Amino acid sequence: AQTVTQSQPEMSVQEAETVTLSCTYDTSENNYYLFWYKQPPSRQMILVIRQEAYKQQNATENRFSVNFQKAAKSFSLKISDSQLGDTAMYFCASMYSGGGADGLTFGKGTHLIIQP
């Protein structure tokens, strides 16, 4: 079984600042994927960034980047130059890639508030 832990229930930063959301996970698998999803208030959940566990290079998507530490089972999300539209719930998730339903295991989420 996989578990995902997000230890920061809520974070608040000023617009244009850089913020890092933490995530740790536990899995006995060697092949898996890690994701960060964003859920704005009353809106659809969308994929922010994706990381294959077999890749050493950290994934980046514009202002979003991850710090993937496989040995430590850590997968933090860094948001640079934060914007008001980044206010949302952020979920870290893992997926075993060995087949089956490939269900995502989610953390409990971090509520990120960007202050003007």
Partner 1 sequence: EADIYQTPRYLVIGTGKKITLECSQTMGHDKMYWYQQDPGMELHLIHYSYGVNSTEKGDLSSESTVSRIRTEHFPLTLESARPSHTSQYLCASSEYFGGEHYGYTFGSGTRLTVV
> Which residues of this protein are in contact with partner 1, per CB under 8 A?
33, 35, 37, 39, 43-47, 50, 52, 89, 91, 95, 97, 101-104, 106, 108-109, 111
Closest distance between partner 1 and the C-beta of residue 76, in Å?
18
Contact 92, 26 (CB under 8 A): no
Contact 27, 73 (CB under 8 A): yes
Closest distance between partner 1 and the C-beta of residue 115, in Å?
20
Nearer to partner 1 among residue 19 and residue 95 (C-beta): 95
Contact 8, 21 (CB under 8 A): yes
Nearer to partner 1 among residue 38 and residue 73 (C-beta): 38
Closest distance between partner 1 and the C-beta of residue 20, in Å?
20
Nearer to partner 1 among residue 85 and residue 100 (C-beta): 100
Among candidate residues 10, 31, 33, the one with its CA nearest the CA of residue 108: 10
Q: Is the dihedral of CA 98, 101, 105, 106 positive or negative?
A: positive
Two tokens, residue 18: 């850089």
